[in-house]
Amino acid sequence: MDVDWFHRSWPPAEQDNALVEARNIAAVWECYRSVGPRQLVMCGVIGTEVDRERCAAAVGCSVRMVRLTADADIIRKRLRGRYSASQRSALEWHLERCDEIAARLEAADLDELVIDTSTLGPHEVAERVVRHFGLLDVCLP
């Protein structure tokens, strides 16, 4: 699940977006669980223990965190490739804050695993994650 999609609305929610996000994640995960999936991978920014506890409550299980890092220049290049010209303000927001967010997440030290993705492709990152959690034989052929 890409956590960002669970709090996007227009106009923005009058209440705390984090609460809207948690409620939406809980509803979608319950739907998935009702038809079989038992493993959940979420991507998003969890910067405090309170955030992690809210996320764990939403999905009904503990949250084991993996932080993906990369060199600053690579992060900026990836961000530029993610946004279209019409999304310029969102790109600028992320470019201005990416160093601060990375430092804040490192200082929070909530991670079970940290992977430097500077030279890795998505498949290699995924393989390291499932290997760490002992799921390699279950997930990959």
Q: What is the pLDDT of residues 15-55, one digit of tens each?
A: 677 888 899 999 999 999 999 888 888 999 999 999 999 99
- State yes or no: pLDDT of 136 exceeds 80: no
Write down the pTM of the prediction. Answer: 0.83
Reported for 25-29, long-range contacts at CB under 8 A and 24+ positions apart, including other chains, are: 25/1, 25/55, 25/58, 25/59, 26/57, 26/58, 26/59, 26/60, 28/1, 29/1, 29/58, 29/59, 29/60
Count of domains forming the chain: 1
What is the spatial distance between Cα 107 and Cα 117, in angstroms, rounded to a whole number? 19
Range of the domain at 55: 1-63
- State yes or no: pLDDT of 138 exceeds 70: no
127, 140 Cβ separation under 8 angstroms = yes
113, 66 Cβ separation under 8 angstroms = yes
Does the residue 8 lie in any domain? yes
* pLDDT tens digits, 53-80: 999 999 999 999 999 999 999 999 999 9
Does the residue 44 lie in any domain? yes
The pLDDT value recorded for residue 102 is 95
Does the residue 137 lie in any domain? no
